[in-house]
Homo-oligomer: A and B are copies of this chain.
Amino acid sequence: MTFKLSPLSPPRRLLLGPGPSDAPPEVLVAMSQPVLSHLDPAFLKIMDETMEALRVVFGTGNRMTLPISGAGSAGMEAAMVNPIEPGDRAIIGVVGHFGARMAEIARRCGAEVETIEPTWGQILDPADIRRSLQKKKAKLVGVVHVETSTGVIQPLEEISRIVHEHGALFIVDTVASLGGIAVNADALKIDICYSGSQKCLSAPPGLAPLTVSETGMAALRARKSAVRSWYLDLTLLDKYWGTDRVYHHTAPVSMIYALREALRLTLDEGLEARYKRHMDAHRALAAGMQKLGLEFLVAPELRAPMVNAVKVPSGVDANAVKKRLLEEDGIEIAGGFGPLAGKIWRIGLMGYSARLENVERLLGAMKRIMGR
């Protein structure tokens, strides 16, 4: 055996892409704490604290509130594979890449999927969802709160009302929004709500916080067939995270340390103060972009503060600017997906990254690179 590696030494970056965001020092220190067994009483207490803190951030009293052991997309898959039985009808709002992914996952779970698809960068019209529900009974309606591919906030109140009038489950992706704007899962009567650890919560990527309403749990208990995924089966996960403490899989202990610590910092800061910090950073970025003569993709009233989609001016090579920012300034931003590739930059102001000094650093670097 001759293959050897040198010690790990990742470069320093300022993460201003649409996730992951920079993890605060306290979270990085938590990751380096010695590993506990997944059944150690001291770890079970850390799990309980994590669940309780997640309830606060989700705005819920749901008992079933836990981090799924996987990326945000594992949370999405858990939110689809648990309620769907083969042949169930699922209505999915697609206003960008992640709505499209939700529809694809629902199909693989065996659902008959109808998508509602306005142009990317727009929002869903609740009337379209009502029409689809009236046409034929659906098991669930899935929408994305903040679409990471476009930076649009989807208003949820009216859709929730319509979904529940028609007896369907309301599934909401809050991967980009949780911790950056209010989610209020109970007030919005969300039945399954999931997120990711690495965006506005600022833990490293690898966990998907998820919460299920009592209506949602009743639907899971009423299934006629076994959930197709054993790993993501919420009734099995409930037995480990709940009072039974029956071993399911080995929890990602260090990741849960990090999430617990990120949640501790979130609670210490206070949710309202945290939302204001995200909005302040967004406003500073918007003002700076205007000075640079750059426009947003999304209308002001629909803009998510944590995902800023900025149009690439004609004649500018989107990738070249992105590359120079990374190489010359150590700043990471992202480009567009699919129909928006090369047409937008996506600038994330999430969690620990959402600070005015970071906005200023980015604006200064863009001004220099673009010669404006």
Contact = CB atoms under 8 A, between A and B. Distances in A.
A222 interface: no
A49 B5 contact: yes
Interface in A2-24: 3-13, 15, 17, 19-23
A22 B13 CA distance: 30
A49 to B, nearest CB: 6
Interface stretch (A66-74, A276-284, A285-293): A66-74
Contacts of A258: 254
B17 A254 contact: no
Interface stretch (A113-121, A162-170, A267-275, A303-311): A267-275
B49 A227 contact: no
A38 B214 CA distance: 35
A71 B249 contact: yes
Interface stretch (A103-111, A184-192, A360-368): A103-111
Q: How many copies altogether?
A: 2
A170 to B, nearest CB: 21
A198 B10 contact: no
Interface string A51-91: 01100100000000000011111100100010000000000
Contacts of A34: 10, 12-13, 22-23, 28
A30 interface: yes
A33 B263 CA distance: 19
Interface string A192-216: 0000101000001110000000000
A147 interface: no
Interface string A218-260: 0000000011111100000000000000001111111101101
Contacts of A356: none
A35 B31 CA distance: 11
A264 B5 contact: yes
A70 B72 contact: no
Contacts of A46: 8, 10
B35 A32 contact: no
Given A13-B40, A22-B35, A71 B252 contact: yes
B271 A1 contact: yes
A267 B30 CA distance: 27
Given A5-B49, A5-B267, A22-B34, A104 B230 contact: yes
A296 interface: no
Interface of A: 1, 3-13, 15, 17, 19-23, 26, 28-43, 46, 49, 52-53, 56, 69-74, 77, 81, 101, 104-105, 107-110, 196, 198, 204-206, 226-231, 248-255, 257-258, 260-261, 263-264, 267-268, 270-271, 326, 332, 334
Given A1-B56, A70-B74, 4 more contacts: A8-B264, A69-B74, A73-B250, A107-B226
8 contacts: A4-B268, A20-B253, A21-B35, A28-B33, A70-B70, A72-B249, A105-B230, A252-B252
